[in-house]
A = this chain, B = another copy of it.
Amino acid sequence: MKSVIVLSILTTASLMASPLTKDAKNAGLLPIPASKTALLKLIDNPKNHITDAKVKLGKKLYLDPRLSRSGLISCNTCHNVMEGGDDGVGAATGHMWRHNPHHLNSPTVYNAVFFGSQFWDGRAKDLEEQAQGPTLAHPEMAATKEHIVAVVKSMPEYVKEFKQAYGDNVKITFAKVTDTIASFERTLVTPAPFDAFMNGYKEAMTPKQKEGLKTFIQIGCASCHNGVALGGEMGAFNVTATYKYMSTGDFKGDKNGMVKVPTLRNITETAPYFHNGMIWNLKDAIKEMGRIQLGTKISDKQAESIETFLGALTGKKPHMMMPMLPASTATTPKPDLN
């Protein structure tokens, strides 16, 4: 009986909100909701509701390299769900080994559902729209809409699964394929110790991580890195000659010079950093951001403290079975390596 009481007291204590979570909320930081219903509401698209059938099919399409012109590049090539959701190289590299023309780095797919917009210049409003980009882009998958539809329609298993997902009268179009991929991507969220902490479990973060969170807020990192993604909205990137890595690539942001703030979730797994992937070391990245974005000299000690906090944003990835992709048939378009 005694142990039950002790446990009960501990649990109550654990659930009491600490002042730090209040400070974090005031600074605009939000957790991934603990409630499944709240989470589903947050990640769903009312125009393309998430269903099990779409997610199952979307996962296959996401992993299927035959959607590309060459038959060798899938969404997963640059946004590898086994590797932190990105590719770990500087500039995205696709069809015929061509690099992104602006030397842009592949962002992680994990938690991208929480972003206000997609791509570094925010030109796509959501994941459904985003998925239409790299599939057709020439330095990436280099396919055509017709190729993708023909590939999918050539395999009875895919056709069957589209019917299961959208009904027997489904018209398999390019948009239907990319919508389905987006449904899968919407489920790729990674709850981390930070979320448990913000949701009331005080011990979910270590004392040093909590110190780091304080430093993060005090220095002003949360002025751009906020919301559930700790990023994901458009921000004014200080593109000046003082950014010493700016010489790599010619990206200047959107028409207003704005650049999407990358998420800090799983940042320990997604080096290299910045839109042009020119910084490999997280501590260096933190200091450089202080210098060029906040006009602040972040000390080594502060940078280490922030880095420690960022470790609390490394989340649990969904456990996924490796799907078996349907076999090509006589009508499947042949890959074109050129």
Interface residue ranges of A97-139 to B (CB < 8 Å): 97, 99
Residues 281 to 338 of chain A near chain B (Cβ within 8 Å)? 281, 314, 317, 319-325, 327-328, 330, 334-335, 337
Please name all residues of chain B whose beta carbon is closer than 8 Å to the beta carbon of A80 when the two chains form the complex. Answer: 65
In the complex, chain A residues 56-94 whose Cβ is within 8 Å of any chain B Cβ:
63, 65-66, 70-72, 77, 80-84, 87-91, 93
Closest 6 CB pairs of A and B: A97-B97, A269-B327, A320-B322, A89-B335, A322-B322, A82-B325
Question: Does A13 sit at the interface, judged by CB under 8 A?
Answer: no
* A324 touches which of B77, B317, B324 (Cβ 8 Å): B317
- Whether the Cβ atoms of A83 and B321 lie closer than 8 Å is no
> Are the CB atoms of B89 and A71 closer together than 8 Å?
yes
Chain B residues, Cβ within 8 Å of A81 = 322
Tell whether, in the assembled complex, residue A87 and residue B99 are in contact, meaning their CB atoms are under 8 Å apart.
no
Question: Does A96 belong to the interface (CB within 8 Å)?
Answer: yes
Which residues of A (239-292) have their CB < 8 Å from a CB of B? 268-269, 271, 280-281
Closest to A269 in B: B327
- Which residues on B sit within 8 Å (CB–CB) of A335? 88-90
Q: Which residues of B contact A77 (CB under 8 A)?
A: 72
How far apart are the CA atoms of A81 and B82 in the complex, in Å? 15
Q: A87-B72, A93-B337, A96-B97 are in contact. Are A321 and B324 (CB under 8 A)?
A: no
Determine if B63 and A89 form an interchain contact, defined as CB atoms under 8 angstroms apart: no
Q: Point out the residue from B63, B89, B320, B325 that lies within 8 Å of A70, measured CB to CB.
A: B89
